[in-house]
Amino acid sequence: MVSSSHEAMHRIFQKDPTLLTRALQRVLHVPFPEPREIAALNVDLTEIEPVERRVDTLLRAETDEGTYLFVIESQKKVDERKRGSWPYCLSYLYEKFRCEPILIVTTQSTTTARWAARPIRLGFRDWHSLTVRPLVLGPDNVPVITDERTAVQDVPLAVLSAMTHGHGPQAPAILESTAAALRTIDPDSAAVFVQFVDSCLADAQAKQMWRDLMTAIQYFWRHPLAEQVREEGREEGREEGRLQDRREMVLRILEWQSVPVPDDVRERVNTCTDLDRLEVWIRRAMHAKDAAELFLEP
- Tens of pLDDT along the chain (298 residues) come to 666 888 889 889 888 988 988 998 889 998 888 888 888 888 887 766 655 678 899 999 999 999 999 999 999 999 999 989 999 999 999 999 999 999 999 999 999 999 999 999 998 777 888 999 999 999 999 999 999 999 999 999 999 999 999 887 888 899 999 999 998 998 888 888 998 999 999 888 888 888 878 875 654 545 555 555 544 445 556 677 778 878 888 888 788 778 899 999 899 999 998 888 888 888 788 778 888 888 887 6
Number of Cβ within 10 Å of residue 129's Cβ equals 9
User: pTM for this one?
Assistant: 0.67
Query: From CA 127, how far away is CA 105, in angstroms rounded?
Result: 26
CA-closest candidate to residue 155, choices 113, 114, 186: 186
Phi and psi (nearest 5°) for 232? -70, 155
Residue type, 127: W
